[in-house]
Structures are given as structure tokens and as C-alpha cells.
């Protein structure tokens, strides 16, 4: 009983100790929980970072292999371009060398060959003399023909003038103007009037009814484009003599045909046709004179490319003939090559 009483007396202290120990345990439990969470987060972070480092290493390896592959491809392309550039430069050098040899051969054999040029100039001078003589003969013949035509025109003009002035001819009773009694001999015009016949005027073909077509009047295609009144019939009387103009000539001058302007005479598509003709001419005369290899950088820092004389001469293409440039023409040799070889040996 004493023990029970002692325990009952210490119940308050035990209760306080119980509550105190429970609160302390809860604080320690919370501290331990926070520490466990911190340890877990650190461990999981280490695992994630280790995994990420592993992924970075693998990605780096993949990128390294891929970039090495691209580098090898680019290097092969650069090697190929360099190879083709060197080959094209070699081809250009060989082409220039061939052109230099051929031009030197042609200049030495044809252009600066003294005896060949002497014979050529002699033949040219003879040909020029022959052509000059033929041209002089032709000019003299044309001059004679023109002189003859002028004389014929003047003769026709004098005859026509004499026919128009036939009324001035002398008669038995009255002498004419050109046959003065105070002169020993008559004037040459008097003899011309005696040979000439009197000029008779033609009667114009006059229609009694003037039929006008509306379409021809609007298009101005008739000689008389405007409506005219009916022409009176001619009076049957003697034609007047004297220096009067012919009736047909007067009518032709009065009723001139339509003379269209340049805008009407030329077609509407004249500019387009002219441009098309100019374009065709440019296509015919277009010559490709570029470098042998356009993408080559060999000639960029060099001197400008000079085209060949065959295509860039202002006097046209040189007539090399249809034979190959290595063929020989013994007729143009200055000396016999066999004799020269014998002398050299």
C-alpha cells in the first residue's frame, strides 16, 4: 500500500515527465525526419547528376563521331575541288601553250614571211590594176550612156517644145518669129518647127454619171474622194494653140491621189519586228569567250584573259582554210625543205 501511495504521490511528476519526454521525442523525430529527407535528396541528386554526366558523355561521343564524319566529307570535297582545279589549270596552261605555238608558227610562216608577202603584194597590185582598168572602162561606159540618155531627153524636150510652138511656123504670106527677113539664114528653131508635127490634145474620158461608193469615199481610195457634181459635156470647138499645159496634166495635178503619212504607211508591228530582227542578229553574232573553267580561282589574281585573234579581231575571223593546221602546203614554201635538210645535215 505504501508503494501504491508513493506512486500516486508521484503520478503528477510522472505525468509531467511523460509529456516532456513525448515532446522531446517528437522534436527529435522531426529533426531525424528532416535529416533523412536531406540525405535522401542529396543521394537522389547525386544519382541524377551522375546519370546526366553519363548522358553528356554519350552525347559528346556521338557528336564527336558525327563531326568527324562531316569533317572527312568536307575534306574529301576540298581535295576533289583542288584536284579538278589543278587539272583545269593544267589544261588551260596546255591550251595556252598550243595557241602560242600555233600563233608563232602562223606568224613566222604567213605574216612575216618576206618573200611570201612580196609575192602577195605583187599579186594584189596586179589585181588592183586590172580591177581599176575595168572600173575605169565601166565608168566611161556609164558616162557615155548617161550622156546619150541626156541627149535623148534634151532631143525629146526640144521636139515636144517644137510641137507646142508649131503655131509659130512661117507661112508663105507671113514669116514666123524665128524666120526674120533681115537674116541671111533662118534660125535652127525654124527648121525644128518644120520637122515637128503639131501637138494635139487628147480628149479626157469624162463620164456622164458620177457614181460614188460610200466605202471608197470614206477610205479615200479614189482619185476624187469627195462628191462631185456632174461634169458638163465638152464643147466642140477648136483647141487653143500656144504654150498651154495639157489637160490631163492639169487634171492629174488637181486631183492628186492620197499620200499617206509615215504612221499610216508603216505597219503597226514595225517596232516589234525590228526588235525581233535585232535579237536574231545578236544571237547570230554572240560568241562565247569566257575562261576555260568559270569556277576556277587560278585567274582571279592573274592578268585578264585575252581571247584569240580568230574571234576577237575587228576585221572578222582569220581565214585559216579548211585543212588542219599541221598540214603543209608546198606551193607556199620559200625554199625546198628537202634542200634545207640536206644543207643542215
- What pLDDT is attached to residue 58? 94
Please tell me the pTM assigned to this model.
0.28
Look-up of cell digits 527648121: 191
CA distance 226 to 230: 13
Q: How high is the pLDDT of residue 339?
A: 46
| Boundaries of every domain in the chain | 48-112, 138-195
Residue 159 near residue 196, CB atoms below 8 Å:
yes
- pLDDT of 153 reads 93
- Residue (of 202, 197, 115, 116) closest to 160 by Cα position: 197
C-alpha cell at position 252: 492629174
d(CA 34, CA 46): 18
Taking only the tens place, the pLDDT of each residue in 56-80 is 999 999 999 999 999 999 999 999 9
Task: Say how far apart CA 295 and CA 42 lie, in whole Å.
Answer: 63
pLDDT, one tens digit for every residue, the chain (345 residues): 677 777 777 777 777 777 777 777 777 888 888 899 999 999 999 999 999 999 999 999 999 999 999 999 999 999 999 999 999 999 999 999 999 999 998 888 877 888 877 888 899 999 999 999 999 999 999 999 999 999 999 999 988 988 888 888 888 778 888 888 888 888 888 888 888 888 776 665 655 444 545 455 444 445 444 445 455 555 565 555 556 677 777 777 777 776 666 556 667 788 888 888 888 887 766 555 555 555 555 555 556 656 665 556 565 555 544 444 455 666 766 655 554 444 444
Cα–Cα distance for residue pair 217/9, rounded to 1 Å = 154
What does the pLDDT read at residue 324?
45
User: Is residue 318 a contact partner of residue 310, using CB atoms and an 8 Å limit?
Assistant: yes
Q: What is the pLDDT of residue 52?
A: 94
**Can you tell me the distance from the alpha carbon of 119 to that of 124, in angstroms, rounded to the nearest whole number?**
9
**Grid cell locating 144:** 557615155
Q: What's the confidence (pLDDT) of residue 26?
A: 76
Task: Give the per-residue pLDDT at 210.
Answer: 47
d(CA 126, CA 99): 35
Quote the pLDDT of residue 290. 52
Instruction: Copy the grid coordinates of residue 37.
Output: 529527407
Amino acid at each position: 500500500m505504501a508503494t501504491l501511495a508513493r506512486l500516486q504521490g508521484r503520478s503528477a511528476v510522472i505525468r509531467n515527465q511523460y509529456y516532456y519526454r513525448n515532446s522531446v521525442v517528437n522534436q527529435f523525430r522531426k529533426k531525424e525526419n528532416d535529416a533523412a529527407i536531406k540525405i535522401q535528396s542529396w543521394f537522389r541528386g547525386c544519382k541524377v547528376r551522375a546519370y546526366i554526366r553519363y548522358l553528356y558523355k554519350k552525347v559528346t561521343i556521338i557528336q564527336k563521331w558525327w563531326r568527324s564524319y562531316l569533317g572527312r566529307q568536307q575534306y574529301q570535297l576540298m581535295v576533289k575541288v583542288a584536284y579538278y582545279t589543278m587539272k583545269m589549270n593544267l589544261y588551260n596552261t596546255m591550251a595556252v601553250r598550243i595557241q602560242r605555238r600555233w600563233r608563232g608558227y602562223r606568224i613566222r610562216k604567213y605574216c612575216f614571211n618576206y618573200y611570201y608577202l612580196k609575192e602577195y603584194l605583187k599579186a594584189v597590185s596586179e589585181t588592183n590594176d586590172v580591177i581599176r582598168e575595168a572600173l575605169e572602162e565601166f565608168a566611161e561606159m556609164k558616162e557615155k550612156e548617161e550622156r546619150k540618155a541626156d541627149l535623148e531627153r534634151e532631143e525629146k524636150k526640144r521636139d515636144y517644145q517644137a510641137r507646142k510652138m508649131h503655131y509659130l511656123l512661117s507661112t508663105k504670106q507671113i514669116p514666123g518669129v524665128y524666120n526674120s527677113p533681115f537674116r541671111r539664114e533662118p534660125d535652127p528653131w525654124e527648121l525644128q518647127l518644120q520637122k515637128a508635127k503639131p501637138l494635139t490634145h487628147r480628149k479626157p474620158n469624162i463620164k456622164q454619171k458620177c457614181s460614188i461608193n460610200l466605202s471608197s469615199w470614206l477610205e479615200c481610195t479614189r482619185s476624187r474622194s469627195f462628191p462631185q457634181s456632174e461634169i458638163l459635156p465638152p464643147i466642140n470647138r477648136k483647141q487653143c494653140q500656144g504654150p498651154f499645159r495639157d489637160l490631163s496634166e492639169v487634171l492629174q495635178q488637181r486631183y492628186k491621189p492620197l499620200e499617206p503619212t509615215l504612221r499610216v504607211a508603216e505597219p503597226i508591228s514595225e517596232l516589234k519586228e525590228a526588235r525581233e530582227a535585232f535579237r536574231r542578229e545578236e544571237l547570230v553574232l554572240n560568241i562565247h569567250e569566257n575562261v576555260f573553267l568559270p569556277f576556277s580561282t587560278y585567274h582571279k589574281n592573274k592578268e585578264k584573259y585575252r581571247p584569240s585573234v580568230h574571234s576577237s579581231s575587228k576585221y572578222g575571223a582569220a581565214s585559216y582554210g579548211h585543212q588542219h593546221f599541221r598540214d603543209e602546203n608546198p606551193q607556199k614554201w620559200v625554199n625546198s625543205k628537202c634542200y634545207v635538210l640536206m644543207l643542215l645535215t
